[in-house]
Amino acid sequence: MITVLGLHIGSLLLYGLSLVLYWRFFITKRRGTGRLAQWVLLAGLVVHSAMLVVFTLQRHFLPMGQFATAATTFVWLFGVLYFIQELLLKEQEFGVFVTSILTVVQAVSVFTVDYTKPLADILRNVIFEVHVSFMLIAYAGFALGFIAAVMYELLFEEIQGHRFGLFYSRLPSLEFLDKLNIRSVTIGFLFLTVGIGLGMMNADQAWGFFWEWDPKLTVVFVNWLIYLFLVGSHFVLKWRGQRTAITGIIGFVMVIFSFFIVTNFASTIHTF
């Protein structure tokens, strides 16, 4: 237990440090700082992986039985996805945004985790694990889309406002950000759809019904509708650019809402 908590906190500190370094890199554009940030992020991911492995070995179950553990798995997944992206595209400008999310979510996870809580028996099955994994991948996709949308908006405002400032000289092109946003959101949406379907199968086994207008399930459904709209508006209505960016930002805020608020304050049968 102590080891896991130690590794958990250790990875949080490393993510925090990488956030500071990515911020420094964003401002100064110094290659050396960027490389250092990359190494620190890698170290954070390694420590984090160790934590997840130890946790799984001790409990014989992937760390997704409660909100805090699912959140930390999400952080790991998102971190790894971003890291691969950084190695492939050699674009380090997102780093500051990504590590912000990693640090915040990991912090929430560290402070709310309860290692002593036993795993509910109904969750001990493969479909549940796949369901959670898919949902996490979907959220990672939305998070990346959100970052792209925010960067789009920041850059857009600068270009439209005829200011050649901080973001102008640092971010990739609007079209690139637009594409990144749409792709991440589309992939996220596909995983979300399948994930919800798997969740329904799981619910059928655990609770005996597919669906219930429970607060949390309702919010997830609304999220699904938002992303359905986002993906549909692009592919059917041919929306792009700023409109897509703003919709993406709003959509992701809703995701955050479902994750944090509903889990912690609403009473729900879907307890994490």
Least distance between other proteins and beta carbon 186 (Å):
17
Q: Are 189 and 228 in contact (CB under 8 A)?
A: yes
Residues belonging to the chain: 272
Least distance between other proteins and beta carbon 39 (Å):
21
- Cβ distance to other proteins smaller for residue 53 or 237: 237
* Pair of tokens at residue 230: 């986002």
Which residues make Cβ contacts (< 8 Å) with residue 77, sequence separation at least 6? 136, 137, 140
Write out 69-120 in H/E/C secondary structure: HHHHHHHHHHHHHHHHHHHHHCCCCCHHHHHHHHHHHHHHHHHHCCCCCCCC
Query: Does the footprint of other proteins cover residue 35 (CB under 8 A)?
Result: no
* Single residue of 155, 185, 217, 220 touching other proteins by CB under 8 A: 155
Q: Which stretch binds other proteins (CB under 8 A): 106-114, 157-165, 247-255, 256-264?
A: 157-165
Which residues make Cβ contacts (< 8 Å) with residue 235, sequence separation at least 6? none
* Single residue of 49, 100, 242, 268 touching other proteins by CB under 8 A: 242
Quick one: residue 22, left, alpha or beta (phi over 0 = left, psi -120 to 50 = alpha)?
alpha
Query: Does the footprint of other proteins cover residue 240 (CB under 8 A)?
Result: yes
Query: Does the footprint of other proteins cover residue 241 (CB under 8 A)?
Result: yes
Query: Does the footprint of other proteins cover residue 173 (CB under 8 A)?
Result: yes
SS3 65: coil
- Cβ distance to other proteins smaller for residue 174 or 222: 174
Q: Report CA-CA distances (Å) from 149 to 105, 224, 246.
A: 19, 18, 7
Query: Does the footprint of other proteins cover residue 6 (CB under 8 A)?
Result: no
Query: Does the footprint of other proteins cover residue 249 (CB under 8 A)?
Result: no
* Pair of tokens at residue 65: 């039985």
DSSP state, residue 25: H
Least distance between other proteins and beta carbon 238 (Å):
6
- Cβ distance to other proteins smaller for residue 101 or 171: 171
* Single residue of 39, 125, 175, 264 touching other proteins by CB under 8 A: 175
* Single residue of 13, 77, 174, 194 touching other proteins by CB under 8 A: 174
* Single residue of 156, 189, 191, 259 touching other proteins by CB under 8 A: 156
> Comparing C-alpha atoms, which of 105, 120, 37, 31 is closest to residue 70?
105
Least distance between other proteins and beta carbon 43 (Å):
27
Looking at residues 189 to 228 of the shown chain, list those that interact with other proteins (rule: CB under 8 A): none
Binding site for other proteins (CB under 8 A): 29, 155-156, 159-160, 162, 164, 168-169, 171-176, 179, 238-243
